[in-house]
Amino acid sequence: MSSSASPLAGRRIWIAGIGGAGMSGYALLARAWGAEVAGWDRVETPYLRHLEDVAVEISPEPPQPPAGWEVYVSTAFAGQVEGRPRAELLAELVSLRRAIVVAGAHGKTTTSAMIGFCLDRLSLDPAFLIGGDVPQLGGNARAGSGWLVVEGDESDRSVGALAPEVAVLLNVDLDHHTTFGSRAEVEEFFEEWLRGVPHVVRADELAPVAFELAVPGEHNRKNAAAALAALELAGVARADAERVIVEFTGAGRRLETKGEAGGVTVLDSYAHHPAELAADLAAMRERGRVLALFQPHLYSRTQHLARGFADTLATADAVCVTGIYPAREAPLPGVSGRLIVDELSRVRPGMRIGWAPEIEDAARIVAGWARAGDTVLTLGAGDVDRAAPLILEALA
């Protein structure tokens, strides 16, 4: 762990996929900690607005990295650009500060944000790398002088390369079917990683907090319990952390309210696994009728979890499913969002179900169903967030 304010001084780092939620944060910290940083991405992203002093090239194909620079490659472009995996850069950043790493299948962004928020509001100047925008913290990353709070990722096993002082394991689930063959394999992976961490919080051993939060749902009360336990291990008094955590209003795309029109409230969520959809739908149930617009994410996940998605979505009052957001995957023969629609029809015959491969059509369908007092949830890890303004416009 470095005590220097500029531990990366003299380094030149070039990042492929610099516009992503993760890599943009790595770039911000590397630059703040002394390195010269540049990079490339295919498209402009909101995360790039935090990298004003970093040279970023936007082009359909990756350019040749500058000679003599260290090259790190996002998982999204592995095999397309020659360089070192992102895990190596993140592992180095974690080694430079006392670190808290939050891992698990569900709730990582919110829990990491809760920890970072509490440290910030208690004037402990955290650094953080979070996989989503946190409005109350001004973004997804910061290079503070205190604890480094990191959202770990098992999708490419990169969290296994991290050596924090405190680790939080929220839950274990099989979410990445091209990386792990079974839930047991995921459990073994996490246990191997945790054996090398001095202080571990296991969220499944904790009771949800009993007090009211600004973010809804039982799942967020569980997230808060894990955040508070990690903060205690970091030396924060429980009473101080509890006093400020109730002011946390959430991370972007985590049951984020997008607006209201015609008496209908529209929220957007990054939920893309049946367990995550179940938590969000349950949190909204007390409001009345819930309509869901769901964009499946990844062909492999849809193929393996179509029935699980159907079982969960059946708890809504009406559902429209779109085409699959492919992300890093190539199409699989016979796999489309229609699999979930067919399963829904079997799970809950007579339910109002829509199938619209294009988000624009799905938004129009859901807006046509909605009536005053309803809650509409747009769900998925792709670009389904485009649907919320379309629905609000149609309802206005």
Residue 147: band (very low, low, confident or very high) from pLDDT cuts 50, 70, 90: very high
pLDDT at 2: 63
* Residue 342 contacts residue 257 (beta carbons within 8 Å): no
* Residue 275 contacts residue 105 (beta carbons within 8 Å): yes
Crossing angle for the helix pair 108-121 and 218-233, to the nearest 10 degrees: 50
Mean local confidence (pLDDT), 351-367: 98
pLDDT at 105: 84
Residue 82: band (very low, low, confident or very high) from pLDDT cuts 50, 70, 90: very high
Q: How far is CA 112 from CA 18, 87, 129, 133, 230, in A?
A: 21, 18, 8, 11, 10
Question: How big is the chain by its Cα radius of gyration, in Å?
Answer: 21
pLDDT at 179 over 90: no
What average pLDDT does the chain have? 95
Question: How is residue 198 annotated by DSSP?
Answer: S
pLDDT at 192: 96
Which residue shows structure tokens 């629905």? 391
CATH fold label, 256-395? Protein-Tyrosine Phosphatase; Chain A (3.90.190)
pLDDT in tens, 52-64: 889 999 999 999 9
* Residue 168 contacts residue 96 (beta carbons within 8 Å): no
Tell me the two tokens of residue 257.
Answer: 């309210």
Helices (H), the chain: 21-32, 86-95, 108-121, 183-194, 218-233, 238-245, 274-285, 299-313, 338-347, 359-369, 387-395
Mean local confidence (pLDDT), 167-189: 85
pLDDT in tens, 275-329: 999 999 999 998 899 999 999 999 999 999 999 999 999 999 999 999 999 988 9
Mean local confidence (pLDDT), 172-201: 88
Domain ranges of the chain: 12-85, 97-245, 256-395
pLDDT at 286: 82
For the chain, what is the total number of helices (H) and then of strands (E)? Answer: 11, 17
**Of 164 and 285, the one with more pLDDT:** 164
CATH fold label, 97-245? UDP-N-acetylmuramoyl-L-alanine:D-glutamate ligase (3.40.1190)
State the Cα–Cα distance between residues 370 and 368, nearest whole angstrom. Answer: 6
Question: How is residue 386 annotated by DSSP?
Answer: G
Q: What is the rounded (10 degree) CA torsion for 197, 201, 202, 206?
A: 170
pTM (2 d.p.): 0.87
Residue 3: band (very low, low, confident or very high) from pLDDT cuts 50, 70, 90: low
Architecture of domain 12-85: 3-Layer(aba) Sandwich (3.40)
pLDDT at 4 over 80: no
pLDDT in tens, 105-142: 899 999 999 999 999 999 999 999 998 899 999 999 99
Mean local confidence (pLDDT), 225-242: 98
CA 384 to chain CA centroid, Å, is 14
Residue 189: band (very low, low, confident or very high) from pLDDT cuts 50, 70, 90: very high
pLDDT at 155 over 90: no
pLDDT in tens, 240-284: 999 999 999 999 988 999 999 999 999 999 999 999 999 999 999
